[in-house]
Amino acid sequence: MAIALGPEVRGRLVVLEGIDGCGKSTQLQALAAWLPQSGLMPPGAELLVTREPGGTPLGQALRQLLLHPPAGAAPHSTAELLLYAADRAQHVQQRLEPALAAGHWVLSDRYSGSTAAYQGHGRGLSLELIAQLEQIATGGLQPDLTLWLDLPLAEATRRRGARQGGDQPDRIEAAGEAFLQRVHQGFAALAAQRGWQPIAADLLPDQVSAACRQALRQRWGS
């Protein structure tokens, strides 16, 4: 007879949000290295590190279409909204839900808050419609903790310029400063509404990492 393993413990979903150039990728890597040996995750739980758009094979194809479309194929804002939602629906069903149901933890570079910030506040699409679409795409899956890397737009712009060197910005980054300013303000509003944890990101990377770790310890440490 199979041995009963006791009640299933669901995993945790941790999300990083913020404007382009806020240092999210660096912080995600640092958290991904620290979290499994932090003592916060239960024994046997693994860490899935993922991102939106592009956390599944379908999502990688959508990411390419969204950020680097061939000439003449750039999506209209409503099509853009639906493509991000399609990426998310696939991500939730193929990767996030199975991992969480198995008790694993997930660290995601962006989630539904990015759609509210970029397509809602940035592009000016209906926030009410976006909330309905979010419900469809996520099936109601909410992050357990969202860290918002809060960086003034001027500093984010400076960092993107320094990072990119000769590279072309992607389609979203190329949408202009006024757009990114609305996105930034959108993130600030969402952080207040949704209870996200703001992290001051205009510090040295190690200091930002320490603040991220502290936020996770506060949430789950004993």
List residues near ligand TYD by CB under 6 A.
Answer: 20, 24-25, 51-53, 67, 84, 109-110, 114-115, 118-119, 172-173
Minimum CB–partner distance for residue 6 and ligand TYD (Å):
36
Query: Closest approach of Cβ 95 to ligand TYD, in Å?
Result: 14
Indicate the residue type of 56: T
CB of 126 to ligand TYD, least distance (A): 15
Instruction: Select from 61, 165, 80 the least CA-distant residue to 122.
Output: 80
Q: Pick the closer one to ligand TYD by CB: 20 or 150.
A: 20
CA angle, 171 as apex, 13 and 67 as ends, to 5°?
50
Tell me the CA distances in angstroms from 185 to 5, 67, 167, 182, 216, one per residue in order. Answer: 47, 22, 27, 5, 24
Closest distance between ligand TYD and the C-beta of residue 8, in Å? 29
Residue closer to ligand TYD (CB basis): 41 or 66: 66
Nearer to ligand TYD, 112 or 209 (CB): 112
- C-beta closer to ligand TYD: residue 163 or 217: 163
Q: Are strands 13-17 and 47-51 parallel, antiparallel or unpaired?
A: unpaired
Nearest CB to ligand TYD, comparing residues 109 and 150: 109
Question: What's the token pair of residue 123?
Answer: 């592009």
Residue 24 has which token pair?
């999210």
- Helix spans in 109-204 (H): 112-115, 127-138, 153-164, 177-194
Q: Report the nearest approach of ligand TYD to the CB of residue 119 (Å).
A: 6
